[in-house]
Amino acid sequence: IHGVLSGISWGILLPIGAALAFVPSQRPVNRAWSCAFLCSQSFAYSIGIVSLFVGIHLGSKSLEVEHSTHQNLAWILLSLCGLQ
């Protein structure tokens, strides 16, 4: 579940939102493009947060496996996305 949610968030929705941010630069500014961008990025960020907590929960169940690098990258990415 963690991988699927992350793949949808980081692999599909965030790139779509980034593409939507550049479309209005080719045309006059339209409120629909801004709303589509905002909705896509917000939904992707929300799924990313859910994925993070699912990952934390799953990581706490597997005590014998070291997840520090993966977990640190997740916190950094989510923080940078939040700053955006």
The DSSP annotation for 5-59 comes to HHIIIIIIIHHHHHHHHHGGGGS---HHHHHHHHHHHHHHHHHHHHHHHHHHHHH
| Segment 1-58, tens digit of pLDDT | 888 999 999 899 888 888 877 776 666 667 777 788 888 889 998 998 999 899 888 8
- Residue spans of the domains in the chain: they are 2-83
What SS3 class is residue 80?
A: helix
Three-class DSSP category at 61: helix
The predicted model gives 60-74 an average pLDDT of: 82
Q: What is the pTM of this model?
A: 0.75
Please compute the mean of the pLDDT values over residues 70-84 and round it to a whole number: 84
Q: Position of tokens 């941010």? A: 21
Q: What pLDDT does 28 receive?
A: 63
Distance CA 84, CA 78 (A): 10
